[in-house]
Amino acid sequence: MPEILTFVAVFLIGFIASVIGAMVGGGSLLSIPFLIFIGLPPQMAIATDRFGGIGAATSALFKFGKAKKIAWKYVPILAILSFVGSLIGANILLSIDPRILQRVAGFLLLFLLPFVFLKKDIGVQQKKLSKLKRAFGCLVYLFIQTFTGFFGAGTGPFIFYTLMIGFGLTIVEAVATQTIPFLILSISSLIVFATHGLINYQIGIALLFGMSAGGYVGAHIALTKGSAWVKRLFAVIIIVAGIKLLFF
């Protein structure tokens, strides 16, 4: 593929992936395989995708922040957990093939899907939870952010599961609130990736621009359609992501 066409394709894939990611997560299931397809090694594809993801998170944060959908009271603890998890996970990436875990992730996604629909108000109405449930949610969140630090693809839905069930947020609030911890995770893990030369900056810049545009558009759609509509899309993405991770 000629170089200019490669950059255009990366921009478009980044845009589409971030539209999906800004609404329900899972966009990296599209972008990371594409980066591998155009010739990047798996570890470099994950690192470069994380670089582009900064654009998606920043533009989505701007849109969600204006709409006042961020649950700020949870941001400090989630940010700390993201920072710790990202450093642990990024260093794991240096010594493990992330593909060995994708089938486990796919199974867990499909296994957890029914729990979101056991109660119709999960992800649609904000709920008040006990301190014990939130504490358990923090532990699960730390584990997932560690996983995100070295794997990335398909972990967004896991995070939104946790923020809906463990913190009582609606799915739109979960997506909006996660933008800040994701930015922190991305920056801290990118420092590790950059010091080991894992980022392809030429591809990464094209991806960054595409994901910046996609993140804004995805956030706008999520805010316009509302939590009930986003929850239905979330179910579709979970099924697709689970099958993708299990069999492809």
Average per-residue pLDDT for the chain: 82
Structural domain containing residue 146 = 3-247
Count of beta carbons in the 10 Å neighbourhood of residue 118: 8
User: Which tens digit of pLDDT belongs to each residue from 126-156?
Assistant: 777 778 888 888 988 888 878 776 665 567 7
pLDDT at 230: 82
Higher pLDDT, 89 or 70: 70
Give the model's pLDDT for residue 93: 58
pLDDT at 92 over 80: no
pLDDT in tens, 173-197: 998 998 998 888 788 878 888 998 9
> Is the predicted pLDDT of residue 223 greater than 80, yes or no?
yes
Whether the predicted model's global pTM rises above the 0.85 cut:
no
The DSSP code sequence of 151-197 is: T-TT-HHHHHHHHHHTT---HHHHHHHHHHHHHHHHHHHHHHHHHTT
Total domain count for the chain? 1
